[in-house]
């Protein structure tokens, strides 16, 4: 089993490091794991005649450096809604011809209204999947379930708490302090959030950086409460037989949404649009929902390809849930103030 | 023409390495130095000539703090490696009678170098974890009643892991230095009435100092630039300077500040290397 896994790992590493072929009918996508999963991609490759090479990112911070290193390699990318604006401002992506995308009008209006995927009246991103940055706890560690962000500051949980190693830590701390305008915090509010995080630091076992790392931390019994990418790590833990429960704290949760974007000057437009159409269809939407456990952007596709249970569990028909989420925004030139504060917490 | 023909081979012999150095060392450093004077400006950064990045590094306490922490960890790793490696190398060279055993022991230290760095760091995670090997062992002996979380995700775990990973770089130069010491020197020392301890302090140790200096330099510099151990076994207070640089090039998208940090780091490492070089030279001339 492990040997097989290692070999598989080596093979996929080879596949990743081999330079992408720039032939006609081939598209190179830079995306998250699961968004180009063989379970629904193989069929696409067979029917469309387009071959897909996927390279995976570990964080939204990987998109800009990878594209900055020079164009002409990737055709499609899937940054989250806090990074899409940066891609547009960096001139890395081009406007979409939405008339060529079937099902565009079935996308939740809330997503199409987002500022981060458009500029000068044109769309640059095709909403794909979404979810919450929920919180999660180990069932066997709590008699009364936690309900608040403040539970991540509890002395009696010292050494059993984890927090995502990301600027979103500032969002979490700000909400704990009662500052709900998390994407437009003033310098004083950021400073206050920073102080709260410094206070919390002795209670933290480890800041988690990757999905796998958080799963390992729960599995090894190191942590019992943390934030999480709703639907993803909890299902991985369920597979391992570890009982965890996700919750949206009383202070609310952030929401994220990932969009497909076409890289400027991509020579493989035809395949790129075929790919976009597939991803927004039932094939792509239910494909990714089954692999990653994320909610999807195309309401009509979700309704027809999901079971009623899955449809409900993924909050596809729950406008209140979606509205309750504080959807990530581009921080623009305030970005530095946030990242600087978070880095300074880690330097303490 | 004949000049060229005569000198072509030597030009090639010298020219290729020189080009290699220019292309793969001087050019990248030049680019980093250039970037370090640029200015961060949304969405990325713009060319400029200003010292703001360097001023930030020396005035914002977070960078000084991380530099000092990295220094501390690197010194601890070098010290721990030295304390373990020296007696080991000494035993191999002077006390181990069986050649086969010596080869085996030497290989046992070197062999882990062939195993992936990541794997070796992961192993320490399973050893030091709350439900790890060390905790189970201590509990089975009855030394502790419940698993301790004191071993993993802190600076202790980083020092242990880095020491384990870099110790071959301490053993190898010390072993070589000890092996080069002619046995007749210690014999002469003994003939002149010195006890084994005094012989060691006045003859063996001074003669092996160049190896010790080389070992210190290697382990120190390798630890100073490490960013995997903090990621895998370090805790919330485990951020090292290489992690900060990685963040500046990635998440913060502030290549100018990242470059300036890299230059400061380079200066620290070069200072250490030249100091140790001086020490090695002194050891070689002053010793014999």
pLDDT attached to residue B283: 64
What domains sit in chain A, N to C, each tagged with a CATH number?
Answer: 2-128+257-317 (3.40.190.10), 131-254+329-347 (3.40.190.10)
Choose among A62, A159, A336: nearest Cβ to B250: A62
Residue B19 lies in a domain: no
Which tens digits make up the pLDDT trace of B85-144? 999 999 999 888 889 999 999 999 888 888 888 888 888 988 998 888 999 999 999 888
- Torsional class of A121: left (φ above 0), alpha (ψ -120 to 50), beta (otherwise): left
Please list every residue in chain B whose beta carbon sits closer than 8 Å to the beta carbon of residue A223.
none
CB contact under 8 A, A347 and B247: no
Closest Cα of chain B to A133: distance in Å? 18
Sign of CA dihedral A333, A165, A111, A258: positive
pLDDT class for A71, splitting at 50, 70, 90?
Answer: low
Q: Say yes or no: A90 contacts chain B, CB-CB below 8 A.
A: yes
Strands A51-56 and A76-77: unpaired
Residue B1 lies in a domain: no
Q: Say yes or no: A59 contacts chain B, CB-CB below 8 A.
A: yes
pLDDT class for B285, splitting at 50, 70, 90?
Answer: low
Please list every residue in chain B whose beta carbon sits closer than 8 Å to the beta carbon of residue A201.
236-237
* Total domain count, chain B: 1
Indicate the average pLDDT of chain B: 89
A146, pLDDT greater than 90? yes
Residue B20 lies in a domain: no
A22, pLDDT greater than 70? no
Could you tell me the two tokens for A18? 């081999």
Is the preceding omega at residue B43 within 30 degrees of 0, hence cis?
Answer: yes
Which CATH number goes with the domain that contains B124? 1.10.3720.10
Choose among A159, A167, A336: nearest Cβ to B40: A336
Q: Domain residues for B258?
A: 54-287
Q: Which residues contact B123 (CB under 8 A, 6 or more apart)?
A: none
pTM: 0.86
Do residues A233 and A188 touch, judged by C-beta distance below 8 A?
no
Choose among B65, B237, B251: nearest Cβ to A61: B251
| Radius of gyration from C-alpha coordinates of chain A | 20
Tokens 């195993």, residue? B115
Tokens 């009982």, residue? A243
CB contact under 8 A, B251 and A340: no
Q: Above 0.90 for ipTM, yes or no?
A: no
- Which residue out of A6, A67, A80, A343 would a mutagenesis test of the B interface target, given it has the greatest number of B Cβ atoms within 10 Å? A343
- Which residue out of A2, A57, A206, A219 would a mutagenesis test of the B interface target, given it has the greatest number of B Cβ atoms within 10 Å? A206
């Amino acid at each position: 089993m492990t040997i097989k896994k290692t070999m598989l790992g080596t093979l996929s590493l080879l596949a990743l490091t081999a330079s992408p072929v720039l032939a006609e009918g081939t598209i190179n996508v830079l995306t998250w794991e699961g968004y180009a999963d063989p379970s629904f991609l193989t069929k696409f490759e067979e029917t469309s005649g387009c071959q897909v090479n996927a390279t995976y990112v570990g964080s939204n911070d990987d998109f800009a450096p990878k594209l900055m290193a020079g164009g002409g390699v990737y055709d499609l990318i899937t940054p989250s809604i806090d990074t899409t604006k940066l891609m547009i401002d960096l001139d890395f992506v081009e406007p979409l011809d939405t008339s060529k995308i079937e099902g565009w009008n079935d996308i939740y209006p809330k997503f199409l209204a987002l500022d981060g995927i458009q500029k000068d009246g044109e769309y640059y991103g095709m909403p794909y999947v979404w979810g919450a940055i929920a919180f999660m706890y180990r069932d066997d560690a709590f008699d009364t379930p936690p309900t608040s962000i403040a539970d991540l500051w509890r002395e009696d949980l010292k050494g059993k708490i984890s927090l995502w190693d990301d600027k979103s830590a500032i969002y979490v701390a700000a909400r704990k302090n009662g500052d709900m305008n998390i994407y437009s915090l003033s310098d004083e509010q950021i400073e206050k959030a920073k102080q709260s995080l410094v206070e919390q630091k002795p209670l933290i076992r480890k800041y988690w950086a990757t999905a796998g790392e958080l799963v390992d931390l729960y599995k090894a019994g190191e942590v019992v409460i943390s934030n999480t990418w709703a639907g993803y790590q909890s299902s991985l833990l369920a597979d391992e037989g570890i009982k965890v429960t996700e919750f949206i704290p009383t202070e609310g949760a952030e929401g994220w949404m990932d969009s497909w974007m076409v890289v400027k000057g991509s020579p493989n437009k035809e395949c790129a649009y075929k790919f976009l159409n597939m991803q927004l269809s039932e094939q792509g939407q239910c494909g990714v929902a089954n692999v990653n456990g994320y909610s999807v952007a195309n309401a009509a596709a979700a309704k027809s390809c999901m079971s009623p249970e899955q449809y409900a569990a993924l909050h596809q028909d729950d406008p209140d849930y979606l509205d309750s989420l504080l959807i990530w925004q581009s921080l623009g030139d305030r970005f530095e103030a946030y990242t600087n504060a978070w880095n300074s917490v880690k330097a303490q | 023409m004949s000049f060229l023909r005569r000198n072509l081979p030597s030009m090639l012999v010298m020219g290729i390495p020189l080009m290699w150095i220019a292309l793969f060392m001087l050019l990248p450093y030049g680019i980093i130095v250039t970037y370090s004077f640029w200015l961060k400006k949304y969405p990325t950064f713009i060319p400029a000539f200003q010292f703001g990045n360097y001023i930030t590094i020396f005035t914002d306490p977070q960078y000084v703090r991380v530099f000092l922490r990295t220094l501390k960890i690197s010194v601890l790793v070098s010290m721990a490696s030295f304390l373990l490696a020296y007696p080991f190398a000494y035993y191999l060279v002077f006390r181990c009678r069986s050649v086969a055993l010596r080869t085996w022991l030497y290989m046992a230290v070197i062999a882990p170098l062939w195993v992936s760095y990541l794997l070796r760091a992961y192993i320490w995670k399973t050893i030091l974890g709350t439900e790890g090997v060390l905790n189970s062992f201590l509990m089975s002996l009855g030394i502790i009643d419940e698993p301790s979380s004191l071993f993993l995700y802190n600076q202790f775990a980083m020092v242990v892991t880095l020491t384990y990973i870099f110790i071959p770089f301490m053993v190898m130069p010390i072993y070589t230095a000890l092996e080069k010491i002619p046995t007749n020197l210690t014999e002469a020392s003994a003939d002149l009435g010195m006890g084994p301890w005094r012989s060691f302090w006045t003859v063996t140790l001074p003669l092996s100092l160049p190896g010790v200096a080389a070992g210190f330099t290697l382990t120190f510099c390798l630890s100073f630039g490490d960013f995997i151990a903090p990621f895998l076994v370090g805790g919330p207070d485990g951020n090292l300077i290489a992690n900060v640089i990685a963040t500046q090039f990635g998440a913060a998208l502030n290549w100018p500040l990242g470059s300036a940090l890299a230059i400061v780091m380079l200066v620290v490492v070069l200072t250490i290397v030249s100091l140790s070089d001086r020490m090695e030279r002194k050891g070689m001339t002053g010793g014999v």
